[in-house]
Structure 1
């Protein structure tokens, strides 16, 4: 199996705000990103990229655990 590693650059302050908001809402970082993307009128390229990376990491984790 080929391992794919994605690297993205995101604003550190945005990441901290997302992480804090996720904790306050008792959500994972991925769930918080989805929540914000669903509620947003315009799409955030930062959130979409972070969500894609989180999903890829989760998929890789599941593949490695099988």
Structure 2
């Protein structure tokens, strides 16, 4: 299992906790719900995800070059 550690602004954490309560979810499940696209993504989150995907593609390309 992969582990992801995020530093979250205090106000954002409070918002996530309130939303989790409103949806009868744990904080983790609320975050997953948002990441799965059930909520509008912030521009920061979209940029972060794009960066992670690009790094993953580079890693895969590098791995396949080493195998060949």
What TM-score do you get using the length of structure 1 for normalisation?
A: 0.49
Which structure: greater helix fraction?
Answer: 2
Larger radius of gyration: 2
The answer to which structure, 1 or 2, has the higher relative contact order (CA under 8 A, 6+ apart) is 1
What TM-score do you get using the length of structure 2 for normalisation?
A: 0.47
